[in-house]
Structure 1
């Protein structure tokens, strides 16, 4: 049975190189399948192959390979990297050629030999790859550059040929820098993963590899150390910085029974933690996997650009051929137009165009992940920028999902005995409203009840001192006319009523509400201000839903809905032409989340379901991340459009210079390098946080 291994790559700078690298690996005997994730620089190979063989397959682009479980080594400074030695020698020779040309002339044999030597040393790998692809009739950028440089040498423009070699190398380096920089976000997540843990063995603790930990093992986490694995605290108290998982900067207090996550930092006290997840199942591992998969999924714009690039290069070659052939037929200088045609080939390098979209998408997804926002793919990032309607679930999304007693009205003064009865009846009822009532009572104790009974869909009851007390819904009581009138008078809009008393007499009424998230009002206000229609779709009753909708200024409120009703509502809006997003807790909202153009989930740090269900998950459970994602999406779309404009605009301007005969190889390579530089720097603006 063939084994599957995962590797991480360094130096993978362009999509053309990636495709070539895959073909080279597939040609290795013993290799069955190859899957390369360009955005994440991650390689999966099934078969029998060594790291040395893989690096040999990527030697043309100086690609370095390491097993996925091996941390990256410290980066080698540019001046110490042997891969850059040919460039350094070529640069020195070029400068020497310039000095010689000033002293003995450009046409001197010494000058030409120096420039030709610079071309040979600096461009030999380019020429080898270019000739290989030319024989295969695969007209990639290496072919274009090879033809242009050799053509320049043949017509005696050796100085410009040498300059093209050097500037092309700089352009490649810039492209490589852009991709490595955009991958730094995901690499920083990988670097968070601890390699060892202090495992309890008997009464002692020993250092073991994190991947050797099993569920149920106990590990000790010292102050100032990273949490090695997901687990539950069984002893100790500390403040844990969870910024790596949730993006929140304020440390969270952890004590017995609290969950801790791999990669977070234990700041103060010592903790003992029982392992609940294997190393490959942790929140951090899932985040890394999801972000890497997201970077491999091409956004619609990227698919369009890739398709366009296939026709773009042959079109450029045709234009270059026409420039070389047609003017001389009408008396033009053949050597001049041959030079112009070669310059068009250089301008036509598709580097900047091909990198214009992926570098922006990878940068945006990685930047969001570092802030605790998981985006599952470029398509979801793009779709978020087109949203015109957002449907909110209520409980756990707009509200905290933690009901509290907002008011208590006593029909007769409550005695301490009666408070104790309420406390005892509700203490073990297990309902969220019961918990709210218990939390509202102070200085109460459990009393002995007889005939304790939970009556489904009504409430609970029990006998204390020969009197039967009950607490629950109004239908649980035989309310007399006097009490009924009082209940009607004290109705609180948006609150749930829970009654306490005997069967025939009401003693007290608790008004309970689910509290709004602190950020809900501001988030809805900002969305409304941006022209996005806001909906609330909830299973709660109409009175409660309408009250919360009015408080938040929600555009439309749809209440008393089952999960299938929510799904139908989403479909109805889509059929009307709306680009609708759904945001919920990822459990009972799963059908609607899946149907929406973009599904957002809350509670990522707490639930695996949220991560699995939604297209975008907020790890720190903060609703204010919603407008941030929409803004990030719109910024990314704008930057992609700008990148495509830069890439094509500069090249078009350069090509138009052919008409007056002003296009030179120098201008051509500067146009290509300038486009790559602009695209690179413009995309890296996405690393800056704009709240």
Structure 2
């Protein structure tokens, strides 16, 4: 088998220590290149060579957990666990009701409402070894694997309470029992885990939200009639019906009708788009008005929505660098807490000379300590941030990319196709060889430029097509990225199209100065030279329009204390002209791809640099930058090199990427601070008796919920003020 990467859904993890343990188990296996386990999303991303999915699932099962490959349709199937079942919480609440009544009575000084001890024993035993059995199983599997998890703390703490209460009832005074404590601890922890799972599933899982964009059924043309079919039964080539209000099921091409769609799920732009015959429609789009028939061209993971989901799935399977600290702590957390609990018991017994009080304080330490909050702190914020980024047309490739994007203090833009629309038009053609016409020069230049993919080249070719100019056949074409194209045209000669340096243009500056005097657009235009047999025959002036959001984006970045730079292959005067209009201070023109990379390396000595580009010539600089963003309509090479893809056409998405990443990074730091402080304060309060085991259990449950609630604040981000 070849090396492949597969994602798995994992069931049974109770805290970050479980994820750490599974990673260690898998990374020791022959054939596994890398295994990353995300506790928050309950997924594993595994790179393996010569290892089947079945074997990986078996390894995970032996470690004490269940696993299932995530299929091509990205469905998030639940494998089943007691912590996810609402009936368990309801049953626990019913069994604990007599204790609630008794404890309310104790609050007003009466013990009469507490059930008889034998009833307490029966109820506590059912809870301890029935509903609490999963804690024992989890603890056993964890210890068998050589790593202690949260289940160890819960099983140990509740067992101590139950056993001590049994001892007091049968062999001591028979009055000071704490059966209610073991029941309440299991109830609160189970309730906390249930709420945690539900919150992650319903609010943080952007994969599930994206799946909801697809309809479950769709009308399919069969002969002359329409049949309602499940989306799972569709085939390429099927003709589907889309009506106002419908969700589009697959990527396809309109064959009949007209409609208006919203593609915000892919671009982050909520503007309506009119679609008619021959236009492409995208899975997950909503038909806002009209109706049409469309033929399926791509389904499932092959759609544009599938690409987004694949990117999101891969990102969920990655791990931010800031999470490493929490992972290290989680790996030693439980043994450390057990040692602290023993020390607390000894210290309190020596100080108070009361065995039961010392024991309850030690148990409270075991119960209040929460590795879950530490384990959730980073991944839940990442999940929320990734989901928000996706809804704003930004696809981060992994968690480290989002982390890096949030810490930049300089954003460097390529000019063409980023700050400008990237679709320059021919403004004028100056002929040095008067025997040629403008259309002849355009035909010669376009014949060469069709072998390049730079925006200037694309525009020249399009201009020739618009004029119906027949192109020549070019032999031995050679595209030198960032410089130009050279090739031979039979009957014309060796033609060079590109920069003045590339075509060896000489003595053209005086002519250009004269043209600038007559028409000042020549000064800021991009100049493309055309030479035949090393003789300059013409130069083409091309101008471009600024992105409509460019000025607003620059102002917002500067307000965020992010410096802005232009790195352009165009001459310095062109770059200066754009920079002057946008108010950008750092401007570098006339750069080759290598020069751009060197300039980024130089800027990195003072700044954490994000590079935004769209072409092959930007890739060296993008790789050199601290983090890089590729425009969604850029080349595949640029998108492959980038840390994030800006799905929309506007550079507003570059600001979205930075702002969302910055807020996510801030949220992560808040979560980690809270998780560490919670454990320090909670263990301290439990050690001196401020927290009983019951309150400790409630506090433990609330710790994870608090981290989740903080991460959910990211979902309220709406950056649509351009």
Q: Same fold by TM (over 0.5)?
A: yes
Residue 551 of structure 1 aligns with which residue?
581
CA contact (8 A) 1:584 1:600 kept: yes
Which secondary structure state, in structure 1, belongs to the residue aligned with residue 139 of structure 2?
helix
- Cα drift, residue 172 of structure 1: 1.1
1:92 corresponds, among 88, 91, 94, to 94
1:636 corresponds, among 664, 667, 679, to 664
CA contact (8 A) 2:15 2:149 kept: no
Residue 333 of structure 1 aligns with which residue?
354
TM-score where L is the length of structure 1: 0.78
Aligned equivalents of 1:52 and 1:474: distance in 2? 65
Residue 171 of structure 2 aligns with which residue?
none
Aligned equivalents of 2:457 and 2:663: distance in 1? 46
Question: Is 1:317 the counterpart of 2:346 in the alignment?
Answer: no
Question: Is 1:494 the counterpart of 2:524 in the alignment?
Answer: yes
Aligned equivalents of 1:25 and 1:147: distance in 2? 27
CA contact (8 A) 2:161 2:181 kept: yes
- Cα distance, 1:17–1:579 mapped onto 2, change above 3 Å: same
CA contact (8 A) 1:563 1:589 kept: yes
- Cα distance, 1:452–1:495 mapped onto 2, change above 3 Å: farther
Aligned equivalents of 1:659 and 1:446: distance in 2? 86
Residue 239 of structure 2 aligns with which residue?
220
- Cα distance, 1:261–1:163 mapped onto 2, change above 3 Å: same
Structure 1, 541-550 or 430-439: larger mean CA deviation: 430-439
- Cα drift, residue 510 of structure 1: 8.9
- Cα drift, residue 601 of structure 1: 0.7
Residue 600 of structure 2 aligns with which residue?
570
Q: Which runs of 5+ in 2 are unaligned?
A: 106-111, 166-176, 450-454, 471-489, 531-537
1:355 corresponds, among 356, 376, 382, to 376
- Per-residue CA deviations over 1:81-131 (Å, capped at 9, x if unaligned) read 994434322221211234467545466433443344343333122233334
CA contact (8 A) 2:417 2:614 kept: yes
2:155 corresponds, among 113, 128, 146, to 146
Q: What does 1:28-107 correspond to in 2, within 5 Å? A: 38=38, 40-42=41-43, 47=52, 49=54, 68-69=71-72, 83-99=85-101, 102=105, 103=112, 105=114
Residue 505 of structure 1 aligns with which residue?
none
1:384 corresponds, among 396, 405, 411, to 405
Residue 270 of structure 1 aligns with which residue?
292
CA contact (8 A) 2:352 2:358 kept: no
Structure 1, 594-603 or 121-130: larger mean CA deviation: 121-130
Residue 702 of structure 2 aligns with which residue?
674
Structure 1, 565-574 or 374-383: larger mean CA deviation: 565-574
Question: Is 1:294 the counterpart of 2:315 in the alignment?
Answer: yes
Aligned equivalents of 1:36 and 1:407: distance in 2? 56
- Per-residue CA deviations over 1:283-319 (Å, capped at 9, x if unaligned) read 3222211211111111011111111222332222211
Aligned equivalents of 1:22 and 1:434: distance in 2? 49
- Cα drift, residue 260 of structure 1: 4.1
Residue 481 of structure 2 aligns with which residue?
none
- Cα distance, 1:152–1:528 mapped onto 2, change above 3 Å: same
- Cα drift, residue 499 of structure 1: 12
Aligned equivalents of 1:474 and 1:555: distance in 2? 31
Q: What does 1:573-584 correspond to in 2, within 5 Å? A: 573-574=603-604, 576-584=605-613
Question: Is 1:602 the counterpart of 2:631 in the alignment?
Answer: yes
Aligned equivalents of 2:357 and 2:327: distance in 1? 33
Question: Is 1:585 the counterpart of 2:618 in the alignment?
Answer: no
CA contact (8 A) 1:171 1:677 kept: yes
Aligned equivalents of 1:484 and 1:610: distance in 2? 36
Aligned equivalents of 2:528 and 2:378: distance in 1? 57
CA contact (8 A) 1:323 1:340 kept: yes
2:208 corresponds, among 169, 187, 212, to 187
2:566 corresponds, among 536, 544, 547, to 536
Aligned equivalents of 1:50 and 1:497: distance in 2? 60
Aligned equivalents of 1:304 and 1:52: distance in 2? 28
Aligned equivalents of 2:61 and 2:577: distance in 1? 67
Which secondary structure state, in structure 2, belongs to the residue aligned with residue 402 of structure 1?
coil
Which secondary structure state, in structure 1, belongs to the residue aligned with residue 269 of structure 2?
coil
- Per-residue CA deviations over 1:138-157 (Å, capped at 9, x if unaligned) read 32111111111111121421
Residue 465 of structure 1 aligns with which residue?
none
Aligned equivalents of 2:149 and 2:77: distance in 1? 33
CA contact (8 A) 1:593 1:599 kept: yes
CA contact (8 A) 2:497 2:528 kept: no
Residue 415 of structure 1 aligns with which residue?
none
Aligned equivalents of 1:403 and 1:10: distance in 2? 54
Q: What does 1:435-514 correspond to in 2, within 5 Å? A: 456-457=495-496, 488-492=517-521, 493-496=523-526, 512-514=542-544
2:677 corresponds, among 644, 649, 673, to 649
- Cα distance, 1:602–1:323 mapped onto 2, change above 3 Å: same
- Cα drift, residue 624 of structure 1: 0.9
1:560 corresponds, among 555, 573, 590, to 590
CA contact (8 A) 1:347 1:654 kept: yes
Which secondary structure state, in structure 2, belongs to the residue aligned with residue 297 of structure 1?
coil
- Cα drift, residue 324 of structure 1: 0.9
Residue 661 of structure 1 aligns with which residue?
689
Aligned equivalents of 1:345 and 1:478: distance in 2? 80
Aligned equivalents of 1:590 and 1:293: distance in 2? 22
Aligned equivalents of 2:191 and 2:661: distance in 1? 31
RMSD across aligned positions (CA)? 5.0
Structure 1, 356-365 or 199-208: larger mean CA deviation: 199-208
Which secondary structure state, in structure 2, belongs to the residue aligned with residue 601 of structure 1?
strand
- Cα drift, residue 349 of structure 1: 2.7
Which secondary structure state, in structure 1, belongs to the residue aligned with residue 421 of structure 2?
strand
Aligned equivalents of 1:558 and 1:274: distance in 2? 46
